[in-house]
A and B are shown apart, each in its own frame.
Chain A
């Protein structure tokens, strides 16, 4: 079974530039999550999708971050403009459904962003 795919694996940009991350969840998984993990911290949820609708984006800095999941499959997370404090690992995860009795969450390998 193919896992959660993320790209790119690494990205270095200058502050005030824009960047986009891509995630392809496991086939058939309705729920998709984006997490931000700053060095020394645990992953923090940025946004949760159910199919192509947003379930929770309460911790997404909407002045600079945006995310979409067109057609309820792949998802893109964008930062515009980037700040130094956005340097982090961005993790994408997916699950069959929001109900955990239908299965656990699976995580991608992450994208490591460095803003200089």
Chain B
């Protein structure tokens, strides 16, 4: 059974700092991996989708990498801002033939102070 773990559970940093969020998964047979942002009590905002054939994706100050063989992904946030404060969720897509739903980690709650 696939399990997704995110470390750390919470992180507090001063504005301007670069930071890394970690996601690990127990079964390397995934199709894609997606990072989401969630503000308190709200829905999910998609940040980056890394397809199985890719190693990384970039969008603005965000960079996500994927190493399927080791079961790891990282989300790098450069020059953090108070507006980046939110919970960041990692989700894995099961193998194509499984036909099953995304599996999520518990998230990392980020607080950026000004």
List the interface of chain A (C-beta within 8 A of B): 6, 33, 35, 40-45, 48, 50, 55-56, 89, 91, 93, 98-101, 104-110, 112
Besides A42-B89, A89-B42, 7 new A-B residue pairs in contact (Cβ under 8 A), listed by A number: A45-B102, A50-B99, A89-B41, A89-B43, A93-B102, A100-B31, A100-B94
CB-based contact A48/B49 at 8 Å: no
CB-based contact A42/B104 at 8 Å: yes
List the interface of chain B (C-beta within 8 A of A): 4, 6, 31-32, 34, 36, 41-44, 46, 49, 89, 91, 93-94, 96-97, 99-107
CB-based contact A108/B43 at 8 Å: yes
Residue ID in chain A nearest B94 by CB atoms: A100
User: In the complex the two chains form, what is the Cα distance from A112 to B8 in whole Å?
Assistant: 25
Residues of B within 8 Å of A6, CB to CB, are 43
Residues of B within 8 Å of A55, CB to CB, are 99-100
User: In the complex the two chains form, what is the Cα distance from A105 to B89 in whole Å?
Assistant: 14
User: In the complex the two chains form, what is the Cα distance from A93 to B89 in whole Å?
Assistant: 15
Residues of B within 8 Å of A112, CB to CB, are 41
